[in-house]
A and B are shown apart, each in its own frame.
Chain A
Amino acid sequence: MDERTVNALRLLPDYLAQHVLLSLVALALGILIALPLAVLATRHRGLRVTTLAAASLVQTIPGLALLALFYPLLLGLSALSQSTFGIGLPALGFLPSVMALTLYALLPVLRNAIAGLAGLDPAVIEAADAVGMTPAQRLVQVEAPLAAPVVMAGIRTAAVWTIGAATLSTSVGQTSLGNYIFSGLQTENWIFVLFGCVVAALLALAVDQLLGLIESGVTRRERMRVHAGLAGIVIGAGVALTPLAMGTPRAYLVGAKNFSEQFILAELISERLAQEGATAERKQGLGSAIAFRALASGDIDVYVDYSGTLWTNVMERRDSPERQAMLDELTRWMAQRYNVRVLGALGFENAYTLAMKRERAAALGVHSIEDLARHAPRLSFGADLEFLSRPEWKVLKDAYMLNFAEQRSYSPTFMYRALQAGDVDVISAFSSDGRIAADNLELLSDPKHAIPSYDAVLLVSPRRANDPLILRALEPLIGKIAPQRMQEANFMVDRDTDKVSPKEAANFLVRAIGIAGR
């Protein structure tokens, strides 16, 4: 079997269990909230209009945005509860995912329950009152059983939506089947992407079929179908959740942003931690801004960031001092301000820089950003998804008066493709990217030093700042990863043929550095 398929299968029990747990809890909470709300809403007209409007509004928010919104909300709540009760809330992972998905599951159940209750034959309701039922008896004996088929249809829709949307929870650090899709997309491991999609779709289909069985049983008043459907769901959930029940020891949480180099480094860190006898859990695909806040608030224990990124985005500085001075100031500031420990620089930079195809640059006579500025009004510029909104871009643009004919955003992989295809003339590149050498690109120099240096640095959360195991495991990496090595490792993952997994690239680094690996 293909090595990537084997890898995907190896990860399946954990991903599936987390995905099922998340979907199950969100759906159950959604039902628990929606049903009483629907009963209240059918009794009070005003409430009906407002709840339906609110639920519909939530539905219009894209799933990814809804998840992202819960992160700052929980951060705020966590700070509040920390100061009042001394207990912080996790702002990443399970909690925000469950909250967002619960809101998502709410609408179909609520809408169908209201429709089901409001659509009952008025004669039957009148009869229920007239024979002397209390409102509660009427609900349980008449309204609920008669509305049940419509409510079940709503639950079915909610289940399918929730299982699909749960793949997005990877982006806020919750393991799910989305891990295949997000990491596969970044490393162009299409087997992973396909695997994630197929498993999520199969799960949704299976649940839909079982709920459909219950729905038909409720409609036809056949107990057998209801029991068979329920049994199927209970057994299925039980099997899927078994890996969680086995229990894993408290793991170190290793964060990674959403590009190949980060995946490789996370594997490298995990490998080193394992070497010291600890277990490591990875939270991958974090947004650039989320990653640092997650570390500062203890949602992840360790990750790699870049000095210039922290300098401009977290410290909000606009100057660009010399490399070592910046590192020293960063280390001091992080310790003082956030109790975050900067363990040290890994030895390579991953600077934001501008790149062109070598022949094109030669033809135009462009070798520096200063040269580029003269041609910019006739050129089109491709940037990664965040570059254009980062302060570095503003500094660079102002320093060189850059003014392109056209600007477009791509995910990194497609940005390089666009440059190759001639869709854009200049791109924002990462200096450690293996594709620079492989695609024969020219990096444009920055004579005005507008862009700061971007040393890769290891950051440790306040909680783990003095953890001897982390120090033992990670200090051997400091200053040991040469730019050449990182470019090679990145290219092993990013190239079109013979690609390897981030884990294998990490093993390559281990061997290259010459520290003990497994």
Chain B
Amino acid sequence: MGRRSRGQLGMAPFIELDRLCKSFDDGRTFAVHDVTLQVESGLFVALVGASGSGKTTTLKFINRLIEPDSGTVRIEGEPVGMADITTLRRRIGYVFQGIGLFPHMSVEENVAITPQLLGWPQAEVATRVNELLDLVELPRSYASRPPSGLSGGEQQRIAVARAIAARPKIVLMDEPFGALDPITRDSVRSSYQSLHGRLGLTTIMVTHDVQEAVLLADRIAVMSAGRILAYDTPRALLSNGTPPEVANLMAMPKRQADRIRALTEGKPRDNAHG
């Protein structure tokens, strides 16, 4: 089982998705259909599934970038629909594949945006910017640069810094590493994983990369056609006894791992399929 199993904490779920539904074509088809999910504090949860399975829509319900047709999202027991929408979003970090750094602002201004919106004192904002650049492992000299002068990996690190600037407890990530090359992706990914642990964040990440989900997440929710097929620890999902659709999806990283192991043990490529 994972580091913190469901029973151990014995408290109400931190984030609760309750029977969420969404249709973008007046009810003919459902992008999200009756999705219920409970996430305890401090967990790293991955939403996996094919394109169009409803994982991004589900994620965006949490910070209300999309409003559900029915159902409720609760954070610490409180429905997000009742909260002021900007207050809610300033309390939740958001990182996505498009990165979306403001091109007309310096790195420093980008990182400081949410603290500025919250009206933090200038001195505190300045200190926080330096702290954040350290956290995402970028030199402080980057502060005054425009984002266009940075590499893709550096830009995504800035986006992470911007997301956690106002010390949110929750970070939502939508394919955050999808546009990066494999080496950069691995480095940004492990940086974030350590931040998640150190800062005690609760992270929900959408990805179509099952291997990434297995490597990073404490829990994986497998989605297909707007429904959640399974929600469990990676270990449990990799073991036998899961529904065939889930088993199929989970078999891929396992097969890859087996192949790599076989290669490193010196067996010829042809026999790898076993």
A interface, CB within 8 angstroms of B: 121-134, 137, 141-142, 145-146, 221
Contact = CB atoms under 8 A, between A and B. Distances in A.
Max count, chain A CB within 10 A of own CB: residue among B86, B87, B159? B86
Contact of B102 (A127, A132, A134): A127
Interface in B150-205: 159, 162
Contacts of B104: 142, 145-146, 221
A127 B100 contact: yes
A123 B99 contact: yes
A131 B85 CA distance: 11
B122 to A, nearest CB: 17
B65 interface: yes
A145 B109 CA distance: 14
Contacts of A142: 102, 104
A127 to B, nearest CB: 3
A2 B169 CA distance: 82
B87 A132 contact: yes
Max count, chain B CB within 10 A of own CB: residue among A123, A126, A130, A141? A130
Contacts of A131: 89-90, 94, 113-114, 117, 162
Contacts of A133: 86, 117
B207 interface: no
Contacts of A146: 103-104
Contacts of B113: 131
A6 B229 CA distance: 90
A133 B89 CA distance: 8
Give chain A's interface secondary structure class. Answer: helix
A402 B101 CA distance: 78
B65 A126 contact: yes
A127 B162 CA distance: 10
24 contacts: A123-B98, A123-B99, A123-B100, A124-B101, A126-B98, A127-B94, A127-B98, A127-B100, A128-B102, A129-B65, A129-B89, A130-B63, A130-B65, A130-B94, A131-B89, A131-B94, A131-B113, A132-B86, A132-B90, A133-B117, A137-B117, A141-B102, A142-B102, A145-B104
Contacts of B96: 123, 126-127, 130
B191 to A, nearest CB: 20
Given A132-B117, A137-B117, A127 B65 contact: no
Interface string B80-114: 00000011111000101011111110000000011
Interface string B36-69: 0000000000000000000000000001010000
A146 B101 CA distance: 12
Contacts of A125: 100
Nearest to B109: A141
Contacts of B117: 131-133, 137
Contacts of B63: 130
A140 to B, nearest CB: 12
A124 B103 contact: yes
A58 to B, nearest CB: 33
A163 to B, nearest CB: 30
A222 to B, nearest CB: 12
Max count, chain B CB within 10 A of own CB: residue among A131, A141, A146? A131
